[in-house]
Structure 1
Amino acid sequence: MAKVNRARSTSPPDGGWGWMIVAGCFLVTICTRAVTRCISIFFVDFQTYFSQDYAQTAWIHSIVDCVTMLCGLGFALCYSPAIAMVGKYFSRRKALAYGISMSGSGIGIFILAPVVQLLIEQFSWRGALLILGGFVLNLCVCGALMRPITLKDDQTTSEQNHVCRTETQGFQRASPSSTWTKEWVQTCLCGSLQQENNFLLMSDFIVLAISVLFMAYGCSPLFVYMVPYALSIGVSHQQAAFLMSILGVIDIIGNITFGWLTDRRCLKNYQYICYLFAIGMDGLCYLCLPMLQSLPLLVPFACTFGYFDGGYVTLIPVVTAEIVGTTSLSSALGVVYFLHAVPYLVSPPIAGWLVDTTGSYTAAFLLCGFSMIFSSVLLGFARLVKKMRKTQLQFLAKESDPKLQLWTNGSVAYSVARELDQKDGESVAIAMLGSNPA
């Protein structure tokens, strides 16, 4: 097979072929996330055909989402790598690039929702699924656009790993049975593995991971039960599909405008706060949903929820990159999307069980709303504690020794104080020599 020539760059190009990567990721999100979310339109047909309740039917959608986020199977082989590639090609315009890329989900829902409903009416649910399967084959075209790029940080890490492997092989050839050689090999391999996955031990990333579990639990059921809920309050099938289209098109606006706004100088340093705000607003929308019993009331809900859903989805890679850095972004994003898997698997069936048990959607929607609000509050509380701790360290440093300076990561710069002490000592010595020439 021909060897792939990797483009080399010292920093993300923020343009050029990067826009083709954005276009490829845009198509990937249409073929994966949009198609997955449109499965809710099949929900009532599945219930009728298989004669199953809400909880049993919900497993169809939840298993699709879970496998996408959990395995190396199906959509997972396309979705996570495409998102990681965008992060490799963009730095200064990262939020905007992600906004355009992730807007494919909203555009896909806007277009596919009425089309899928029409396909079901014309060809039944079986024929509609076959046509969607043919459409998803366009992922092969998207994959052809993904051109690897090697950045300076990646090249440095790769060179270090190569040196480590070379030295390991040399020691193994020289003395394969030596205890010292075995210890060296183990140390080298552990060091390389630790360098690649050290973000897993970062407290900020652990908090983000926990919050993602609650956020993912809350966001998934709406796309399963939006159409059934609308039908239960007397909305027609076409109007329910129209609500999904509204949700999709506003999701697009949220993707792009949130990405563009948070790239502005006034909000660049507050992307983390914007992410929390968007998740919290979606949680509040959930709490209001049980009170909305007509189409004119559901339309504003779809607009609000869709906008902030697009907003926080755009900022997930940005916030992850802020915490772990660009070098570990691909691995960290894999972990973040992996953590979506379990909530995606269990939340729709749990919501369906609550609907079957209570005969109402209220309990299911309230649980989702509180879950998303808790996710936002948890991240906000963690950031507040970190800021307070940093302020306390700065105060203690100033009280103990005014010469001590504090770096932004909270560690005391003892080297600066040591240099100042050395200079003071030299000044005293010179003064003593000047006063006593003998």
Structure 2
Amino acid sequence: MPCRMRKVDAKTPEVDVANQPETEVRPPDGGWGWVVCLACFLTNCTVPGTTSINGILLIELLKLFNESFSKTTIVFSIIAGAIMFGGPLVSVALMFKASHRQIMMVGGIVAAASAVASSFAPNVETLIFTYGILVGFSLAVNYFSVTVTLGQYFLKKRVLALGIAISGKGFGTFMLNYLSTKITSFYGIRGTFLLLGGLFLNLTVYGALCRPLKPVIKQSPNISHNERTSVDEMEGTANIGFETEGENQETKDEKCGDSNRRISEDTKPLPKTLRARKSITSEIVPSEIYKRESIYCNTTFKNKYFYLLLAIYTTYSVGESFYIYIPLYAVSVGLSEEESSLIMAIYGIIGIVSLLLIGFLVDIIHIPTSYILMMSLFITSLGSLLIPFCQSFGTLVSCAAMNSIGTNFGISLRIVLISAILGTDNMTAAYSILSTLIGILYIIYPTLKGFVYEATQQLSVVFYFDSAILFLGAVLSCGIVYAQKTEKFVE
């Protein structure tokens, strides 16, 4: 079928898209997107904020069940790891035509019921199932879905919106750690699980706020001149932030395109400045051509820098169990449980500042994200290295602040770097892979360090281990810096 406004060469294969009209969903970069940003902020208050009090809950469970340290730690290593398994779970649910909104609402209800059931757990084994597995996976689908939904609502302001939303983690860490010692001392650990169930029920409300975006443009073979102009303008809007070499005055023939020429060009290396652009403009390409282009690109599994990013976050994940061991270490050097919870509350405040700061550094000052990634790994490694030398409240707060800055910078950059390296079309699949890997490591690292502590009876060895792994990640991040400097990927 010929495309209106141009002549088609007789040798050009026709692409029938009459039965499969193309639509485009434009990120509004505002509007209801800020409501979704608020929902993401509150979800981050609840989900990562809850895991930040695992160290306080660990001390209480050791008193209640009198089990070994390594066995009790499994409860919290599983919930921390399960939260990162949201990608595969959400992908399966989406296959059955569920929306992110529905997934989040159901997840909130299941998490609340599981937390209530945890309050009646007679032993650690039961808690591993009710709190570690059921609550963990329920929170996972909320945490993953709300982040992806927010990423779909923003393009130019994505880093700023994600920085604001993820800063909820710092706010939740501050509030829950400030209240956790008082709650556990007054209501006990079982009453604390009941209160957490009520907190998780709010996730249903946050999920209801995440309305799915509606398509605003319908691609048709019988497209009018005005509609073609609208599509052209949309293509220009999608390309903001990316250079377009040799496209200043494209003719209408070139915009409709010859499918043979387009497919053959896909087999050739793209110009550096067009690699990120390709995935963004793919929505306005006829579906059959786009499918064949996707096969040639295959950026998720053939991009070597994605594998390097996976290796870097493999090392980054070791620092995430910091909040499990720092309260125990504070008590071991003579500080009270109230002071240890206050350290974690300050950790949360610093997290708020750092998550807002990264949006300023990237969007306003335009510091390359790869540089920030490398810097954050060095800072976190240094903070972990210095902890065994800290014997007072002030010095521990300083090291906790360093760890908070480095960790929260790294968390903010996950989806940003994936989007820059692979493009927005591959964002969900790639983020799902990264989240799954991190989830596995969140289970392995705390459990492994629990056995190390029981074998040595020295928490300092645990922090030295963290520092060495994080330093390795800082070295690996030099590869991402090189890639961005040589324009292997463009933000």
Q: TM-score range by the shorter chain?
A: 0.7 to 0.9
Cα distance, 1:157–1:336 mapped onto 2, change above 3 Å: same
- Per-residue CA shift, 1:342-390, capped at 9, x if unaligned? 1100111111111111111111111111111211211213543x579x6
Whether the aligned pair in 2 keeps the contact of 1:214 and 1:343 (CA below 8 Å) is no
Cα distance, 1:271–1:409 mapped onto 2, change above 3 Å: closer
Unaligned runs of 5+ in 1: 1-7, 165-187, 391-407, 411-438
Structure 2 counterpart of 1:203, from 286, 294, 304 = 304
For residues 154 and 409 of structure 1, the distance between their equivalents in structure 2, rounded to whole angstroms, comes to 17
> What amino acid does structure 2 have at the position aligned with 1:357?
A
* 1:19-418 mapped onto 2 (5 Å cutoff): 19-70=34-85, 72=89, 73-149=137-213, 157=283, 194=295, 198-216=299-317, 218-267=318-367, 270-381=368-479, 383-384=481-482, 386=483
1:195 Cα offset (Å): 7.5
73-82 or 121-130, which moves further after superposition? 73-82
Bigger-Rg structure (1/2): 1
238-247 or 325-334, which moves further after superposition? 325-334
For residues 214 and 320 of structure 2, the distance between their equivalents in structure 1, rounded to whole angstroms, comes to 35
SS in 1 for 2:327: helix
Cα distance, 1:262–1:346 mapped onto 2, change above 3 Å: same
1:291 Cα offset (Å): 0.6
Whether the aligned pair in 1 keeps the contact of 2:24 and 2:284 (CA below 8 Å) is no
Whether the aligned pair in 2 keeps the contact of 1:34 and 1:106 (CA below 8 Å) is yes
SS in 2 for 1:357: helix
1:328 Cα offset (Å): 1.3
TM-score, with structure 2 as normaliser: 0.68
For residues 143 and 68 of structure 2, the distance between their equivalents in structure 1, rounded to whole angstroms, comes to 31
For residues 488 and 460 of structure 2, the distance between their equivalents in structure 1, rounded to whole angstroms, comes to 45
For residues 24 and 196 of structure 1, the distance between their equivalents in structure 2, rounded to whole angstroms, comes to 34
- Per-residue CA shift, 1:79-115, capped at 9, x if unaligned? 1111112221222222111111101111001001121
Cα distance, 1:273–1:124 mapped onto 2, change above 3 Å: same
Cα distance, 1:193–1:48 mapped onto 2, change above 3 Å: farther
- Per-residue CA shift, 1:309-359, capped at 9, x if unaligned? 222222221111111111111221111111111110011111111111111
> What amino acid does structure 1 have at the position aligned with 2:463?
F
For residues 297 and 429 of structure 2, the distance between their equivalents in structure 1, rounded to whole angstroms, comes to 8
Cα distance, 1:212–1:250 mapped onto 2, change above 3 Å: same
For residues 266 and 34 of structure 1, the distance between their equivalents in structure 2, rounded to whole angstroms, comes to 29
Cα distance, 1:202–1:158 mapped onto 2, change above 3 Å: same
Whether the aligned pair in 2 keeps the contact of 1:41 and 1:117 (CA below 8 Å) is yes
For residues 275 and 23 of structure 1, the distance between their equivalents in structure 2, rounded to whole angstroms, comes to 26
> What amino acid does structure 2 have at the position aligned with 1:41?
I
Whether the aligned pair in 2 keeps the contact of 1:220 and 1:347 (CA below 8 Å) is no
Identity percentage of aligned residues: 25
Deviation >6 Å, runs of 4+: 151-155
1:214 Cα offset (Å): 1.3
Whether the aligned pair in 1 keeps the contact of 2:83 and 2:139 (CA below 8 Å) is yes
291-300 or 375-384, which moves further after superposition? 375-384
Cα distance, 1:195–1:25 mapped onto 2, change above 3 Å: farther
> What amino acid does structure 2 have at the position aligned with 1:259?
G
Tell me the C-alpha RMSD between the 2 structures: 2.6
1:136 Cα offset (Å): 0.9
SS in 2 for 1:147: coil
- Per-residue CA shift, 1:112-165, capped at 9, x if unaligned? 11212111111110100110111111110111111222677789559855x69x
For residues 323 and 409 of structure 1, the distance between their equivalents in structure 2, rounded to whole angstroms, comes to 8
TM-score, with structure 1 as normaliser: 0.76
Count of residues paired in the alignment: 356
Cα distance, 1:16–1:290 mapped onto 2, change above 3 Å: same
For residues 149 and 307 of structure 2, the distance between their equivalents in structure 1, rounded to whole angstroms, comes to 23
> What amino acid does structure 1 have at the position aligned with 2:32?
W
- Per-residue CA shift, 1:231-264, capped at 9, x if unaligned? 0101101111100100001101000111122112
Whether the aligned pair in 1 keeps the contact of 2:309 and 2:480 (CA below 8 Å) is no
- Per-residue CA shift, 1:192-224, capped at 9, x if unaligned? 9847964122101011011111111x2222111
Cα distance, 1:409–1:302 mapped onto 2, change above 3 Å: closer
> What amino acid does structure 1 have at the position aligned with 2:405?
Y
For residues 442 and 315 of structure 2, the distance between their equivalents in structure 1, rounded to whole angstroms, comes to 10
For residues 193 and 10 of structure 1, the distance between their equivalents in structure 2, rounded to whole angstroms, comes to 19
Whether the aligned pair in 2 keeps the contact of 1:197 and 1:328 (CA below 8 Å) is no
For residues 366 and 415 of structure 2, the distance between their equivalents in structure 1, rounded to whole angstroms, comes to 20
Cα distance, 1:211–1:12 mapped onto 2, change above 3 Å: same
> What amino acid does structure 1 have at the position aligned with 2:336?
S
